[in-house]
Structure 1
Amino acid sequence: MEEAEVDKRLEQVLDEQDPELLWDMRKQNSGRHTEYDEFLNRCKEYIASSVETAVDERRHDSIADDEVIVHLATALSVRDLHEQVSSRCPEGTKIPGIQWLRMQFWPRRPTAKTAARYTGKLKVKYMVQARQFRADHVDCHYASALFRYEKECAIMFRDHVTLVSMDDKHTIKVGEPGCPVAAAERGKQVLVAMGKKLAVADHDFTRLSLTPSVNLFIDVPEKIDESFHRGQVCISFKENAFQPSTPVRHVTELHSELTDMNLDGKPILMLYTDGGPDHRVTYMSVQLSIISLFLSLDLDYVCAVRTPPKHSWKNPVERIMSIINLGLQGVGIMRKEIENENKLTSCGGLKSVREMAEKVPELKDEVLGAVQPSIKLLRNLMERLKLKDLRFKTYDPASDDAIDDMWRKILQVKCTHFVSNNNILCQVFLI
């Protein structure tokens, strides 16, 4: 204990750099400061040859005097770097210790007190790999240009347009009765009262799950170089077995949200979505759903654009997902027990749950009722979140009757005739 106390006080002296307590005796080491120059030069050559192997999207940080700090990827550790460079040094070269080599790095946080212990002779540091690799696609430029045109059009008619960014968040698993599972896949530290224990099940297999559908009603700026990440966020939670995400369900919920916020009076609606099957505008089911929404709201113009393939990160609503993750931290989700519990526990997945509901019709209402407490909890959490001081809003998922009413709107479209061209059947509509 005495030794630990001495070490603690010595560390404090080194960190504070008080000249009355600390004398720098390194100036007495004349003739030794060039002892490892050859090894340092070999290190610099190794670093220079490894720049192109960096794994993150930023391969360097700028510092003073136009120098840069390289993010080294090929060396697995300081020990590995020491061995790699040592093997390249000519025979007879003096090799320093691993700890000495560590102190020659650039500090990870230059503002920290411990940064004074690093010399910075090697412009290199370690960092966590950033998982932001983005695959390329031949249509990326054209799809990005379409989004720019959509934003320019929205700015031109900003007093008459509603611009909506739509997407579904990652599935939230619902645990079995008495066995909650974590709502968020990747956890962070949260506040817990003294004496309390924050624990959920150590597995992730569940029969039921919820999908949050997130819509961002963008406040259209006056200039295109201003932010398109401001506006009202609306969220609805759907049970995946009996409330699956479909194009017509999305537009039905969008219709409800537009009506609630008194935005249904604007004659122009613009949508921006990813390339998922529920939003891909090249699918006939998505096109018919948008036409149904067009007729239901009596709009003058609808523009629907999708993100470039493999580039869903361009969707503005994607930035909302990180805020939602904050609300899901430290939360365990589980369902209530139902009357036909033995029927449900015999099912292994969503498909088997739906097949069982065909044999036991009351199972559907029981399952939807069993997840309502979890949905209520999640809605309360989401309504406590804000985007630029504007609180999130939550809505009920679209009912089957509302979806049927929306789908019937397509019957207002009258078919005139069919045109056959090169064995492709084209149908001409008259609204």
Structure 2
Amino acid sequence: MAILIKGGRVIDPAQNLDARRDLLLEGDKIVALEADITAPAGARVIPAEGKIVTPGLIDMHVHLREPGYEQKETIATGTRAAAAGGFTAVACMANTNPVADSASVITFIKEKARQEGVVRVYPVGALSKGLEGKEIAEIGELAAAGAVAISDDGHPVMNALVMRHALEYAKMFNLPVISHCEDTDLANEGLMHEGILSTILGLRGIPAAAEEVMVARDLILAEITGGRLHLAHVSTAGSVRLLKEARMRGVKVTAEVTPHHLCLTDELVQSYDTSTKVNPPLRPADHVAAVVAALAAGEIDAIASDHAPHADEDKDVEYDYAPFGMVGLETAVPLVVTELILPGKLTWLQAIRAWTVNPAWILNVPGGNLAPGGVADVTIIDPELEKEVNVNEFYSLGHNSPLHGRKLKGWPVATIVGGRIVMEQGKVIED
């Protein structure tokens, strides 16, 4: 069935386009993007006046938990959460059980997504066998099976020689190495950002240096190997400075930042709400300002949720014992709109670039633009729609969000994947 999206404000950073346009989809392809298109016979017309029409949003860092941790999330529930949040594609991390360090697990994830998913799913293979950081995984086998990157996310690779070998080997397959930058010795089993507030709250702190030391190491390794390094969840001013300096030297490095590190501060930890316990931790306002400025300047390439769902009983414990992580797929867009775009800290073009063309380029996956002939993945956002976050209405099995009860503006109202509407007005559409 043809779909005509009529009269929307089309923002396509890949074409440097921000203008009123009509968009015509037929089958699984984009066929026209013009000022005025007459609807073909039998086409579904979606009025989009006052709405933002973008290439399908891509979240390049999520945890779908399956296989092995289906009590936290499944591919079925995680992809529905993605659709509800306006995302047409997600890249899922390798910390499953069994670990995604073999072709068989990558194949399982892809097949499960084909059967039960509602958005595109791109598996990320493990960097090391068993995520143990001791021996690199069979990267060529993972690439052949369909892995779009390699990463031990959730576990830093403390052994520099292993990281060097991973960068060298992944380079042969043009795969990015996604690094979870954390020195576990410096982190010292901390619970939140190390500073005055951690002292007041009596919680063991994680210094910014725990991230920055590993950022520096991995940038040096990327420089000597020529490998493609991608820094996950950048959160400190020091990391931003190191990233900028490395790029000036020509290091092949890209980076992402999460909505929570862009929009929230460690002040939230005063509630002792365990959904505020994330790794890297929420930072003070000066670090937040630094990552926002870096994103606006194009020094950070992507916004990625690091969607990390946990079962309610896992988070309903004392702060010390709760696992790290918060969910983010269903609130990422309105949080960024409310906290950054509406106050003028970030433009629509800058934000959409970080969710579309850049992650598509980094992962070398389809989409990221609305050029005719491309895949018919589209997101429509209502910048005026205001709703209250209710974690009990999430499609995700995880309810661990500190945003519950908060009013946010700028919600996605339609998600189209391969020419099929999978979400409309906040409701996921089942076949």
Q: What's the TM-score once normalised by structure 1's chain length?
A: 0.22
Higher relative contact order (CA 8 A, sep 6+): 2
- The structure richer in strand per residue is 2
Q: What's the TM-score once normalised by structure 2's chain length?
A: 0.22
Considering only CA atoms, is the larger Rg found in Structure 1 or Structure 2?
A: 1
- The structure richer in helix per residue is 1
